[in-house]
Amino acid sequence: MAHRQTNVAGRIVYIIVVIVALFWVAFPFYWAFINSIKKPAETFRPTWIPLVQFAPTLEHWTSELAIPETQHALLNSTMIAVGAATLSTILGTLAAYALARFRFNRPNNGFFTTWFLSQRIMPPVLFVIPFFLIMRQVNLLDTVWGLILLNATFTLPLPVIILSQMFRELPIELEEAARVDGASRIQAFTQVALPLVAPGLVAAWILCLAFSWNEFLFALSLTSKSAIPMPVIIAGAEHTRGVQFHYVGVRVLLTMLPPTIMALLAQRYIVRGLTLGAVKG
Amino acid sequence: MASIPNPLDTSQETLNQKQGFSGHENREDSTKYVFLLPAVVWILVFTIFPLLYAVYNSFFSFRYGKINQFIGLGNYGRLFTDANLHGALWITIVFVAVTVSIEMLLGLGLALIFNREIYGKNVWRAIMTLPLFATPVAMGYLGITLFYETNGPVNALVSALGGIPPPWLSNPTWAPIAVMIIDIWQWTPFVFLVALAGLQGLPEDVFEAARVDGSSGFQLFRHITLPLMAPILWLILLLRLVEAFKVFDIPSSLTLGGPGRATEVYSLFTYRTALRFFDHGYAATQGFLLLVIVSIIISLLFGRIRDLYEVSR
C-alpha cells in the first residue's frame, strides 16, 4: 500500500514520528549501555557519546563477570533456557506433526490444538504453590531440572502452533513418495518432513529459549540458592547494593541481551508465535 | 495416563473397519499416538495434576505452610470480604485498562505510519521488535535508574520541557504510572507488529477501487481498513488483556509493590499470600479467581476472532 505522499509538511511530520518512535524504543537499551561503560563519577553528568564526551571503561563488566554468583546465574539461565527449549521443541514438534498429518476422533484435532494453546493463557501464579509443594516432595526445589520441566510445559504451545502450520503447508506428496519407496511413517517424518521445516524448528526453539530465559515467577518461587537464574539475581539486587547505575547497566544488559538477540534471529516467526498462530507475520 | 489411548484406539479401529481401511492403515493408527501422546501426557502431568492439587488445597486453612484444617468453601468466602485483595484487583484493573488502551492506540497508529515503503524498512521493524523479548524484570530494574528522581533521564527531560519533575517511585500516585510506562514501552511493539502484519495482508485492490471512487484517507481508514482489520484487532486486544491481567515482573522489580500497596498488582498479592504468609489454600482460591476473570474475557471476545483461526486452519 504505497500512499501517495505529495504534501511536504506531511512528509516532515511523518519522518519526525518515525524518529521519535525509534528513539523511544531504543533509548532504554542505549541508556543501559552508556551507564555500563561510564565511570561512577560520570553517572549523573548528561554525557551521551562515549570517547567524545567521556572516556569509556570496561571495569564494571569485568568486575561483574568476576562475581561467582553472576557466573553461576548466567550458567543456570543458559541451562534452563536451552534445556526447556529443547524439550519443548521435541515434544511440540511431534505433537504438531500428529495434528497436521493424522485425524483424531473424540477428542478431535481441534480440541487438542485448543487445549495445547490454552496453556499459554493460564495465570502462572495459580501454579506457584502446587509446583512449590510438588517440587519439594520430589526434591527438585532449587534445581535447574525443576525449572526446565516447568518452562518446557509453558512454552510447549509455541512449537505446536508454529510447526503444525508449517507441516500443513508441506505438500504431502513428498512424504507419500518416501512411503512408496518403503520408508516407515517415522522415517518419512524424520528424513523428509523434518528437514523441510528446519527453519521453523530453529525459530520455535529460539522463541522457547527467549521465553524460558525471561521467566521470572517460577524462578523466584522455586529457587533459593544453587539454581538462581539471572532474572532472580536482578530482582534482588537493589536491596543488597543500593542503586549503582553502572552495575544496573551491566546486569540489565547481561540479562536481556541474550533473549533479545536470539529473538531477532527468529523475527519472521515472532508474530506467528505471539498470536498463537492466528496471524502470520 | 496410559489408559488414554485405549478407548481412542478401539474407536479408531472400528471406524476404520466400517470404512474398509486396509490393515496397513490400521498399523498407522498406533503410530499417530506415538507422535501425539508425549506432549499430551506431559501437559496432563504438569498442569492438570497441579490444578487438582490447587483445588484440593483451596478447601483447607494453612498454618506455617502446613495444612491446618478443612474449612470447605471458607477460603472462597474470604475472596468477597478481603479489602486488600479488592485493592489489588482494582489496581490491576486500572493498570489493564490504561496500558492496554494506550498500547492498542499507539501500536495501531504506528503500524499505519510504518505501513508504506520507507528506506531501511526491515531495520526499523527489527528495532521495533527489540522490547518484546527484553527481560521484563530487567526492564523494571532499569526503570529504577530511568525514573531516578534527581537527575534521572526521565526527569531531566521533564525539566527540559519546563515541567516539574514528579516523585516517580516514592509517591503512590506516580509509582503506578511509572510501572504503566514501562509496560507500554514493552508491549506497544507487540500491537504494532501484529497490526502491521495484518495491514500488509489486506487486499490492495479494495483500496484502489475506493481511491478511484474518490474516498479520502480517513474515509478509507474508517470504512475499509478498520472493518477488514477488526478480527486481528480483537485478537490483539484479547491477548493483551489476558497478559496484562497476569502482570507480575515489572512491579516486582521496579517498585516491589510499593510505596505502600500502590503497585501491588493481583499476581504479586497472590504470590505474597502464598510465599510470604504461607497461606497456600487462600492463595489457590485467589489463583482460581484470576483464572475465572481471564476466562470471562476470553469467552466474551473469542467469538469475534474465531474467523481468524478458521481461515488459518
The verdict on a CB contact (< 8 Å) between B43 and A31 is: no
The verdict on a CB contact (< 8 Å) between B12 and A92 is: no
Which residues from B are below 8 Å from A40, CB to CB? Answer: none
Which residues from A are below 8 Å from B8, CB to CB? Answer: 104-106
H or E, element range at B193: helix B174-200
The residue extents of the domains of chain B are 5-57, 77-312
* Contact criterion met (CB below 8 Å) for A95 and B35: yes
Out of A15-19, A175-179, A252-256, give the one with best mean pLDDT: A252-256
The b/e string for B271-287 (b: 16+ C-beta within 10 A; e otherwise) is bbbbbeeebbbbbbbbb
Q: Give CA angle at B136 (A272, A143), nearest 5°.
A: 95
Query: What is the rounded CA–CA span in Å between residue B194 and residue B309?
Result: 15
Q: Does B288 touch chain A (CB under 8 A)?
A: yes
ipTM passes above 0.95? no
Bridge partners, residue B60, by sequence: B70
Tell me the per-residue pLDDT of A2-46, one tens digit each, with 9 for 90 and over.
445 457 877 888 888 888 988 999 999 999 999 898 888 777 777
Cell of A278: 492466528
Q: Does B298 touch chain A (CB under 8 A)?
A: yes
The verdict on a CB contact (< 8 Å) between A98 and B36 is: yes
Mean local confidence (pLDDT), A263-281: 81
* Contact criterion met (CB below 8 Å) for A241 and A231: no
Q: What was the pLDDT predicted at A187?
A: 86
DSSP-assigned states of every residue in B20-62: T--HHHHHHHHHHHHHHHHHHHHHIIIIIHHHHHHHHHTTEEE
Which residues from B are below 8 Å from A38, CB to CB? Answer: none
* Predicted TM-score (pTM) of this structure: 0.87
Query: What is the rounded CA–CA span in Å between residue B294 and residue B313?
Result: 25
Which residues from B are below 8 Å from A245, CB to CB? Answer: 145, 148
Which residues from B are below 8 Å from A153, CB to CB? Answer: 42-43, 46-47
Q: What is the pLDDT along chain B (313 residues), one digit of tens a residue?
A: 333 333 333 344 433 343 333 334 445 577 888 888 899 999 988 888 899 989 998 898 887 777 778 888 888 988 888 889 999 999 999 999 999 999 999 999 988 888 877 777 788 888 888 999 999 999 999 998 899 888 888 988 898 898 888 898 888 999 999 999 999 999 999 999 999 988 888 887 777 777 777 777 778 888 888 888 888 899 899 989 999 999 999 999 888 887 888 899 999 999 998 888 888 889 999 999 999 999 998 888 887 777 676 644 4
Q: What was the pLDDT predicted at B96?
A: 96
Considering only CB atoms, B287 lies closest to which of A125, A210, A221, namely A125
Which residues from A are below 8 Å from B267, CB to CB? Answer: 123-125, 217
Pairs across A and B, CB distance < 8 A: 297
The verdict on a CB contact (< 8 Å) between B51 and A130 is: yes
Chain A interface test: which of B66, B113, B142, B190 (most A C-beta within 10 Å): B142
The verdict on a CB contact (< 8 Å) between B294 and A123 is: yes
What CATH architecture applies to the domain B77-312?
Answer: Orthogonal Bundle (1.10)
Q: Which domains does chain A have, with CATH numbers?
A: 8-57 (no CATH), 67-274 (1.10.3720.10)
* Contact criterion met (CB below 8 Å) for A119 and A92: no
Mean local confidence (pLDDT), A255-276: 86
Confidence of residue A85 (pLDDT cuts 50, 70, 90): very high
- In chain B, the residue whose alpha carbon lies closest to the alpha carbon of A272 is B194
Chain A interface test: which of B31, B32, B125, B137 (most A C-beta within 10 Å): B137
Q: What is the phi-psi region of residue A49: left when phi exceeds 0, alpha when psi lies from -120 to 50, beta otherwise?
A: beta
User: What length does chain B have?
Assistant: 313
Tell me the per-residue pLDDT of B242-291, one tens digit each, with 9 for 90 and over.
999 999 999 998 888 878 888 999 999 999 988 888 888 899 999 999 99
Residue B92 in 3-state DSSP? helix
Residue A16 in 3-state DSSP? helix
Q: In angstroms, what separates the C-alpha of A83 from chain B's closest C-alpha?
A: 15
Q: Does B144 touch chain A (CB under 8 A)?
A: yes
- Distance from chain centroid for Cα B217: 33
